[in-house]
Amino acid sequence: MLRIHFDERDIARVQIAAEPDPLWETVLAMHQLTAPGNGLPPYAAWRMRARAELAERGLTRAARLISALAPGDARYFPDFLTPDEGRHGLAAGLTALRETPRARLTAELRRAALPARLPRWAGAVAKGSRAPLDELADAFRQVHGTVVAPDWTEATATAARDRAGRARTLCHGGVDRMLNSFRPYLRWEPPVLHVDYPREGDLRLHGRGLRLVPSHFCWRRPIALADPDLPPVLVHPVEHTTAWAPATTRACHPQALSALLGRTRARVLTALDAPATTGELARRLRVSAPSASEHVSALREANLAHSRRDGGSVVHALTPLGAALLHGELAPVRGV
């Protein structure tokens, strides 16, 4: 159990990240790729495609380097792999990774007990060479581009749906209710947030606040940085749609999509650019609630909208396909 201790300043400084962090997503994607057996069901099709793509592009060694530094079964992996600058995009995160101070590198690698698994790489780091960090940053860039970036539209969409639900809860019930919305893997007992975690620990925020980062590849339990002096962050799982599949295996439904060519359905699609309940959607469109519900059902059939229950309401939002149809392009990968 990880206990995160808040004070009055921290409550006011809770943040919800606007989108997933590309370095965290790459590390966690490698965890899913190396999971024993057939892996977790939501990622089964993705795993097949990712392995094939990495092998075809000759990136198996690059993927192994990341996995060796951050094995999925480890209770700890080095914090320098996921620098805070990653919130600003892949390029900013990789620049920060390359500039990790030597003393920090050595300390974190020693804590992770990795030198024996990466003797040459870790040995070069210990001698002060910057080449290993360049190699690692390049591995991140290539692996991210191959197995994470193709599904970035879906990753940002699942994060957006999660963030919209948390924001709605925050508006209706404040920070207390919002933090309680993360159950069962988080339990809020003011002023302490109890996190389902593989090891015992305490993190005191001391007025720095906490940044909550939704993650497409995180599963079952959240992950935090080990160093209490680093900017506090908690990466947490999101709910995946039942229709999620890797970009190369998604199918469309032409007959259902044809129903969207009418003017009214186009208005509904546009109105859902911001998530809404059935009642809110009806007010935006100036139609009855049953009519709004009927149109959303048609969008769901075409995999253009997604609905989920939030307390006593059902919140509707666009899927990645719906957003792409509305805006005419897929969501970009920032900082590549």
pTM: 0.74
Contact 23, 82 (CB under 8 A): yes
Report the pLDDT value the prediction gives residue 27, as an integer from 0 to 100.
95
Report the pLDDT value the prediction gives residue 321, as an integer from 0 to 100.
79
What DSSP designation does 41 have? Answer: G
Cα–Cα distance measured from residue 280 to residue 271, given in angstroms and rounded to the nearest whole number = 10
Q: pLDDT band at 15, cuts 50/70/90?
A: very high
Token pair listed for 75: 């209770």
- For residue range 93-152, what is the model confidence (pLDDT) as tens digits? 999 999 999 889 888 888 887 656 676 787 787 777 888 899 999 999 999 999 998 878
- The β-bridge partners of 64 are none
Contact 153, 330 (CB under 8 A): yes
Contact 324, 153 (CB under 8 A): yes
Q: For the chain, what is the radius of gyration of the CA atoms?
A: 21
Q: pLDDT band at 254, cuts 50/70/90?
A: very low
Torsion angle, alpha carbons of 288, 293, 294, 297, to 10? 160
| More confident site: 25 or 168 | 25
